[in-house]
Amino acid sequence: MNGDCVFCRILDGELPAHFVYKDEKVAVIRDINPQAPTHLLVIPREHISSADQVEDPSLWSVLMGTATKVARDLGLVEDGYRVVVNCGDRAGQTVHHLHVHLLSGRFFQWPPG
Work out the angle at residue 90's Cα, subtended by the Cα atoms of residues 36 and 33, and round it to the nearest 5 degrees.
25
Which residues are identified as catalytic? 99
Run of H or E residues at 62:
helix 58-73
- Among residues 74, 68, 62, 76, the alpha carbon closest in space to that of 108 is found at 76
Instruction: Report residue 75 CA to chain centroid gap.
Output: 18
d(CA 60, CA 80): 21
Contact 44, 59 (CB under 8 A): yes
